Amino acid sequence: MVRSALLGASRSERLRHTAERIPLTRKVVARYVAGTEQSDAVRVAGELAGEGLAVTIDHLGEPTHDRAHATRIAQTYVALLEALGKAELTPDVEVSVTLSAVGQTLPADGAAIALENAQQICQAAADAGTTVTLDMEDHTTTDATLGILRDLRADFPSVGAVLQAQLKRTESDCRDLAYEGSRVRLCKGAYDEPETVAFRDRGEVDRSYVRCMKVLFAGAGYPMIATHDARLVEIAGSLAARHRREQGSYEYQMLYGLRSREQVRLVRAGERVRVYVPYGPEWYAYLVRRLADRPANLAFLLRSVASSK
């Protein structure tokens, strides 16, 4: 119930505007978001790469309501990739793209617009010497996102996909995507999904996560294990050993600002770790939604909001 309430808060315009005006929240934001500008993202990516960490960068923008805005978001990614290339960071840094930001949810031609913009971003990534991972949104977009993934992989086979263990369909999707060259980021899921399509109990989600990991590690693809759960990290290591996976044939992924010491520990143990780094002006929804499983941090943010009224 608490998680559902927090996810609801992530959609509240009133809470967002209030939070943005409170100086106290800046400390919280600075810990989990690189900044609002492209230069902030490049700087943080460089710092993390210097510690031996790989990076994926996500631009946090406002919801896309028209084609022109979707095009601007695509151009923002192209400019970011060019900047990363000039900084010689692309061997270790990729980008994550949410398809709704580049037009997927627009009426009539949304899928075609998103595909066109995603192709432009993928080409810029290829030119810079890196790649793209398509973020997954709520369950109503899963089929459309996987359809665009298939189209993109025809020309850009290294494009990554994200699957959410909380969805009941995901184990089957893992089987479909566990082929050679396929990159799959497995996460628990950050959306408040109905019981008809998703596991609601935390234990059920964890068990689904393990089943999905088993499929991915047994397959020929490249698993990207996105979790901060120490037990799941340990299970992933055991599965890698069982399937005689060499280090570098899979990776761990964690959010910027969370479990930084664990990220470094894994790198020192020879593992590949990628940090998910968000930047941009629209940080509020990301912060509340992505940190819904971190009550202490969210309580601090929400107390700041409440005390300002």
Active site residues: 135, 185
Contact 177, 221 (CB under 8 A): yes
Q: Are 239 and 214 in contact (CB under 8 A)?
A: yes
How would DSSP label each residue in 5-66? Answer: HHHHHTT-HHHHHHHHT-TTHHHHHHHH---SSHHHHHHHHHHHHHTT-EEEEEE--PPP-S
Residue burial 14-33, b: 16+ Cβ < 10 Å; e: rest: ebbebbeeeeebeebbeebb
Backbone angles phi, psi at 126, to 5 degrees: -60, -40
Q: Where are the alpha helices (DSSP H) in the chain?
A: 2-9, 13-20, 25-32, 38-50, 67-86, 110-128, 142-153, 170-177, 202-218, 230-242, 260-268, 284-290, 295-307
β-bridge mates for residue 58, sequence order: 96, 278
Residue 71 half-sphere exposure toward CB, CA atoms < 13 A: 3
- Residues 144 and 146: their CA atoms lie apart, in Å, by 6
- What lies within 8 Å, CB to CB, of 121 at 6+ separation is 74, 77, 78, 81, 95, 97, 102, 132
